[in-house]
Amino acid sequence: MDVEEIRQRLEFEPQALPLSASLLAKCHIDFNKVEQALAWLDSQPNHYIVTLSDPLYPPLLAQISDPPQVLFVKGSIESLVLPSIAIVGSRNASRGGLDMTADLARHLANQGFAITSGMATGIDGAAHKATLAVNGTTIAVLGCGVECIYPKRHQNLYHDIINTGCVISEYWPEIGPFAGNFPRRNRIVSGLSLGTVVVEASRKSGSLISARLAMEQNREVFAVPGSVLGGYSQGCHDLIKNGAKLVESAADIIEELGCLSDYHLEQLHLRYHIQDNGITDLPFPPLLASVGYETTSLDAVVEDSGKSIDLVLIQMLELELQGWVAAVPGGYVRLKRS
């Protein structure tokens, strides 16, 4: 979708704005913000505006009952292609909860899952950091604009996520962290993901909103049990009583979602008419020839290969899974000769 199409979508479809129906009926659309958003889009190569009709729009998110009409994405947009698992939980997590989160995130990332969370303190931050520590891909869904770092203490984490994954939001890039935004963003956290894992949540925890939304979206819900003392895991215990799968290790999640992950990738193959290639065969020769042994930007790959960006992203994922290339900050590097 080009800039003019995005402009028309933002101007003539006010439902693309993250406002309630009652406010939309009364509001005056500030088209200066539209121009500012488009200026933001052009300001950096890792800035994207993805609308619901765009082929780059995450297919799982498009299936929920109220998908965001517009997503602002900052970082590696190819992150949105990977099968994702959400990990959420308490902002005031215990050391045991943080350690459990890190262990789950590391193992899941090593199995090829992207880890999605909300970049909050506590469990969210631990999930992002552990994923980055094993060079995995992590996605942060913000309750503010993608240019607003919240909480401030996560400034370094924010930049690390952008280097290998992405931050996304349905709000204008400069929008601040208003309290009402966060429960609404939770539907995106769960909607992007094959399943949602809750680690350490009290009965009043906001992470239970993500779990409830995941159930409503017909996605898998997992919960880590904890001590019955103190009430720190009562929300998790309630989820387990109501049908969530009890999680003791990442194997419990992979056992449930492995087939769904394979199905997700198969659907991407069908969507973009990608043929399976044996590991010993040379896949997508023109595309592979566009990637050098030093970092090659995504824009350079698209230009050199002559393919559309959405097809390049899917085929680059296939090349990465087969070990021909690796995603690195700034683009891709080739790992082996043909």
Number of helical (H) and strand (E) elements in the chain, helices listed first? 14, 11
Contact 157, 125 (CB under 8 A): yes
Strands 47-51 and 70-75: antiparallel
Contacts for 250 with CB less than 8 Å, ≥ 6 apart: 103, 104, 107, 108, 111
CA distance 290 to 306: 10
pLDDT digits (tens), the chain, 338 positions: 555 555 555 554 444 444 445 544 444 556 677 788 889 998 888 999 999 888 888 889 999 999 999 999 999 998 988 889 999 999 999 999 999 999 999 999 988 889 999 999 999 999 999 999 999 999 999 999 999 999 999 999 999 999 989 999 999 999 999 988 999 999 999 999 999 999 999 998 889 999 999 999 999 999 999 988 878 899 999 999 999 999 999 999 988 886 565 555 555 555 544 444 433 345 677 788 888 877 888 888 888 877 777 778 878 887 877 778 888 777 888 877 65
Query: Comparing C-alpha atoms, which of 105, 96, 145 is closest to residue 125?
Result: 105
* Structural domains of the chain ordered from first start: 272-334 (1.10.10.10)
CA distance 60 to 265: 12
Angle between helices 95-110 and 123-133 (to 10 degrees): 40
Query: Comparing C-alpha atoms, which of 210, 164, 219 is closest to residue 187?
Result: 210
Q: Is 120 exposed, middle or buried (0-12, 13-18, 19+ CB in 10 A)?
A: buried
Query: Comparing C-alpha atoms, which of 144, 149, 153, 150 is closest to residue 182?
Result: 144
pTM for the whole thing?
0.74
3-state secondary structure of 231: coil
Amino acid at 87: I
